[in-house]
A and B are shown apart, each in its own frame.
Chain A
Amino acid sequence: MHQFTIAELVTGLRNKDFSSTEVTQHYLDRIARLDNTYNSYITVTADIALQQAAAADKRLAAGNAPALCGVPIAHKDIFCTTGVRTSCASKMLDKFIAPYNATIVENYLNSGTVMLGKTNMDEFAMGSSNETSWYGPVKNPWAIDCVPGGSSGGSAAAVAAHLAPAATASDTGGSIRQPAALCGLTGIKPTYGRVSRWGMIAFASSLDQAGILSRTAEDAAILLNDMASYDAKDSTCVERDVPDYTADLHKSLKGLRIGVPKEYFGEGLNPQTAKLVEDAIKVYESLGATIHSVSLPHTHLAVPAYYVIAPAECSANLSRFDGVRYGHRCENPKDLNDLYMRSRSEGFGAEVKRRILVGAYALSAGYYDAYYSKAQKVRRLIKQDFIDAFASVDVILGPTSPSPAFQFGSKTKDPVAMYLEDIYTIATNLAGLPGLSIPCGLVDSKPVGLQLIGNFFAEGQLLNAAHQFQQATHFHQQSAPGIE
């Protein structure tokens, strides 16, 4: 049963081939049996899941259930869930229980999905390896000594190990697409403003966007239909109708103009990864797409700009974790300053502290113009690069990450090496564009991701291009070795 895609589960539930309770129990059993190995969940909500499954079975029996009714999914532990701990993988929020649901959680509740639990992640979504979680690292199901990517490493590992058919995730600089690449999954980060950020704990507000990790592009399209909505509670959410993202999946790619940026194939890219991406380009040509060389001349500035803007925003976003109203508070503070210093020093991990310090520095008097203002100028140039490129192509194609999954500890000593993991994904967030990663082969038995970047609100077109690729290839059907 855990081999089914979301599309197959939807059909099976509707045809009464199995009940939601059966599917849910099956996944809960698998999690109980196998997740000690992967550590992909921080919290498993078995009781809630079974209650929701029973309710879904009633709705399904009544015959007027929404499409996703009864389908179990997992939520990244960055999304607030009423009555269930939302930790953001930080000691700071180890005991935090929100009195509200994130809008996307609410959307999925309304569509009758079942919540299996809350998945592991890098602390406050800061990391590319899931090694910064206070709840310990997540193992990559494809190679147990390797990272699953991050920050949505728990969501990716859970789906790759078939401990959830799909999971929600979030992407600030590549946190959906890079784990998708490293775990052989489909991952989509929608356009900034397409999905509500209400109830998603903020890392960098101008870059954060919720999205999906699934096994196929079709599943991502089905799930995005219910995740995307206009939400008046998020001022940056765009008031725009949500199309049916499954509608265009089967469209021919004949005439699709694919741009390949030469800057995405330079130094630092694993040659075997490059080879698989080039093979994928040939697949697209065979599907009728035309390939065009494009230039994104400011690509090399994306990582430096990101590592000013994201830390600057996080330095303010994380100020609320001060030990005063909720979250970790140190023992016996001797005065206010001691309360602040020890609560925050004890509650945050090293990477979070590093980014708060970098951000505070970049915003401080005398440095603001040199760092923050300059980074914002670079951000505008990067966005303009994409606007210029999309004048002549429909989709931009490249690698998702420079190389396949790496071993634990291999980049933790060198933050910059870790930051370069997101070199191809970060520009998309800076520009606010939608991006997606799909499997395009294996290197050393580890998956490699192909990235597609679309124009603003062109998620349908991206999913169409991804689905057609998956109709022509089998990479997305490969499971990690040892996963039954």
Chain B
Amino acid sequence: MQWETVIGLEVHVQLATNTKIFSGASTAFGAEPNTQACAIDLALPGTLPVANEQAFRFATMFGLAVNAEIGKRSVFERKNYFYPDLPKGYQTTQLAEPIVGPGFVDLELGEGRTKRVRIHHAHLEEDAGKSLHEDFAGMSGIDLNRAGTPLIEVVTEPDMRSAEEAVAFAKKLHSIVTSLEICDGEMSQGSMRFDVNISVRPKGQEKLGTRTETKNLNSFKFMEEAIALEVERQIDVLEDGGKIIQETRLYNGDTKKARSMRSKEDSNDYRYFPCPDLLPVILDDDYIESVRKQMPELPEAKRARFVEQYGLSSYDAGQITMDKFAAAFFEAATEISGEAKLTANWIMADLGAYLNRTEQRIDHSPVTPRLLAGLVVRIKDGTLSSKIAKQVFEAICNGEGDADTIIETKGLKQVSDTGALEKIIDDILAANIAQVEGYRAAAEDKRAKMLGFFVGQAMKASKGQANPQALNELLIKKLNG
């Protein structure tokens, strides 16, 4: 039987506000446990929450970026459950009246394929603290630094049909929130966490299959793996005549295995009700417009601009603008080199590979826009062949200085000088009389192929530094006598 996969996502995005959503404590990551939790975060009696305006601004920006209706009236509710890292015994979140209503995101999947993923809604809420189960024999430690960090939870419609689409959506969302600078995008620190709802159904069937939810995936790679694994598991179960149980699952990226965490029967009754300590928040049109005006350029708009302004292909522009730091790098380097297409190629290919290999971020790249531009300029003006350019790039990566310094000290300058090239060619022709005779005797249409032999010999003799175009021209001239 042919199966169709159906995927919906719930994404927790930590907002990069200076302070927590309901208190003045800092949200910085990595501090000593419990040093960034004030009386409100600890839920000491008599303390009260005050909503953070910046969190509303960020959520509004997000809503505008995903073409959503902004909730002009949004209401915080209490979601009641007991857990040691949830100090108040309830999470303050939104349910009936969220800040962001229905919207959508358009994906480009390569080869011209596109996909629209609908956003059901996105709501503001507070994060919980962390329970630390290691380090304390027989006990758990609680770190409340994260408690009260603002989140938006983005809930999609079940519109994705493959891991590829789900990952493309996740990457797009990452690119949107980092471009807006409302989230630092540090997935390894939990700044974006993905819950994936997965079901399968026979192709052509309208009715959705029973879904499972795999929680807390914090990398695109794990997400892709977890989806593949779960789809396979569900199909196996169904093909063996079994039934899918609605449950929450956990995927372990190290062991590449998933396990059931709890079934739907164990689910809590959260007893939601509007939080009486926080009044409904009303956003008027002026506020929403003022937020719209403050918004940084979105990836979509930037892509269009890169096509228009720099003459990049739509695909290249899409690749570069996916990461706002890559886009900024590109613009800075192009400004210096004046050569957009070549700069884009180098960023996507060699620089990208180097940063991947060394696990560095482009905004912290030791190869700066100025260094890359220096290289591009020397390729463009013919000083470097593309082959030698790769050597120079390696040297730049090794911290040996800028392109001009490396060219100078290593003597890697491309030989375009006619006198020097003539000398090399004359030597080669003299050493290969038979081949020269053969060339001259051959018909015109065969000659092009035979030319390669002489080019190869000459390049070798020049240690790769001969300017290929100048070499070609001179060779043909000499061979033709």
Contact of A365 among B47, B269, B278, B279 (CB under 8 A): B269
Contacts A316-B273, A320-B88 given: A202-B44 contact, CB under 8 Å? no
Closest to A231 in B: B48
B359 within 8 Å of A (CB atoms): no
What residues on A are CB-neighbors of B51 within 8 Å? 235
Contacts A235-B277, A372-B273 given: A340-B82 contact, CB under 8 Å? yes
Residues 92 to 116 of chain A near chain B (Cβ within 8 Å): 93, 96, 98-100, 102
B189 vs chain A, min Cβ distance (A): 25
B411 within 8 Å of A (CB atoms): no
Cβ A325 vs Cβ B46 within 8 A? no
B168 within 8 Å of A (CB atoms): no
CA distance A197 to B278 in the complex (A): 12
Cβ B46 vs Cβ A324 within 8 A? no
Cβ A86 vs Cβ B87 within 8 A? no
CA distance A368 to B46 in the complex (A): 27
B110 within 8 Å of A (CB atoms): no
What residues on A are CB-neighbors of B109 within 8 Å? none
CA distance A236 to B279 in the complex (A): 7
Contacts A233-B50, A336-B84, A365-B269 given: A96-B78 contact, CB under 8 Å? no
CA distance A316 to B92 in the complex (A): 11
What residues on B are CB-neighbors of A235 within 8 Å? 48-51, 277-279
Cβ A319 vs Cβ B46 within 8 A? no
B410 within 8 Å of A (CB atoms): no
Contacts A232-B50, A320-B89 given: A364-B277 contact, CB under 8 Å? no
B18 vs chain A, min Cβ distance (A): 17
What residues on A are CB-neighbors of B45 within 8 Å? 80, 86, 88, 93, 96, 98, 201-202, 320-321
CA distance A368 to B95 in the complex (A): 15
Cβ B43 vs Cβ A325 within 8 A? yes
Closest to B273 in A: A363
Cβ A324 vs Cβ B84 within 8 A? yes
Residues 234 to 289 of chain B near chain A (Cβ within 8 Å): 269, 271-273, 276-279
Cβ B47 vs Cβ A313 within 8 A? no
B73 vs chain A, min Cβ distance (A): 15
B142 within 8 Å of A (CB atoms): yes
A127 within 8 Å of B (CB atoms): no
Closest to A337 in B: B82
Residues 1 to 56 of chain B near chain A (Cβ within 8 Å): 39, 42-51
Mask of B44-83 contacts with A, CB within 8 angstroms, 1/0: 1111111100000000000000000000000000101010
CA distance A199 to B44 in the complex (A): 9
Cβ B90 vs Cβ A316 within 8 A? yes
What residues on A are CB-neighbors of B142 within 8 Å? 324-325
Cβ B89 vs Cβ A200 within 8 A? no
What residues on A are CB-neighbors of B43 within 8 Å? 320, 325
What residues on A are CB-neighbors of B49 within 8 Å? 235
CA distance A246 to B135 in the complex (A): 62
Residues 373 to 421 of chain B near chain A (Cβ within 8 Å): none
Inter-chain contact total with CB atoms closer than 8 Å: 100
A206 within 8 Å of B (CB atoms): yes
Closest to A90 in B: B45
Interface centre among B78, B89, B271, B277 (most CB of A within 10 A): B271
What residues on A are CB-neighbors of B42 within 8 Å? 325-326
Residues 86 to 130 of chain B near chain A (Cβ within 8 Å): 87-90
CA distance A191 to B101 in the complex (A): 35
Contact of A364 among B39, B44, B48, B269 (CB under 8 A): B269
Cβ B276 vs Cβ A206 within 8 A? yes
A360 within 8 Å of B (CB atoms): yes
Closest to A198 in B: B48
Residues 202 to 241 of chain A near chain B (Cβ within 8 Å): 202, 204-206, 232-236
What residues on A are CB-neighbors of B44 within 8 Å? 98-100, 326
CA distance A364 to B278 in the complex (A): 21
Cβ A205 vs Cβ B46 within 8 A? no
Closest to B281 in A: A235
A322 within 8 Å of B (CB atoms): yes
A312 within 8 Å of B (CB atoms): yes
Contact of A360 among B87, B271, B279 (CB under 8 A): B271
What residues on A are CB-neighbors of B89 within 8 Å? 316, 318-320, 322
What residues on B are CB-neighbors of A312 within 8 Å? 273
Residues 115 to 166 of chain A near chain B (Cβ within 8 Å): none
Mask of A313-343 contacts with B, CB within 8 angstroms, 1/0: 1011011111011100000000010001000
What residues on A are CB-neighbors of B87 within 8 Å? 320, 324-325
Closest to B42 in A: A325
Cβ B46 vs Cβ A202 within 8 A? yes
CA distance A325 to B129 in the complex (A): 13
B388 vs chain A, min Cβ distance (A): 65
Cβ B39 vs Cβ A363 within 8 A? no
B89 vs chain A, min Cβ distance (A): 2
Contacts A320-B89, A360-B271 given: A199-B46 contact, CB under 8 Å? yes
Contacts A93-B45, A340-B82 given: A205-B271 contact, CB under 8 Å? no
Chosen A-B contacts, 15 in total, with CB atoms closer than 8 Å, are A86-B45, A198-B47, A199-B46, A232-B50, A234-B50, A315-B271, A316-B80, A316-B273, A319-B89, A319-B90, A322-B89, A324-B142, A326-B44, A363-B80, A363-B271
Residues of A within 8 A of B (CB): 79-80, 86, 88, 93, 96, 98-100, 102, 197-202, 204-206, 232-236, 312-313, 315-316, 318-322, 324-326, 336, 340, 360, 363-365, 368, 372
Q: List the 7 closest pairs (A to B, CB-CB), nearest first.
A: A319-B89, A206-B276, A363-B271, A205-B276, A320-B43, A199-B46, A201-B45
For the complex with contacts A198-B47, A205-B277, 6 further pairs of A-B residues with Cβ separation under 8 Å are A199-B47, A202-B277, A232-B50, A318-B89, A321-B45, A322-B84
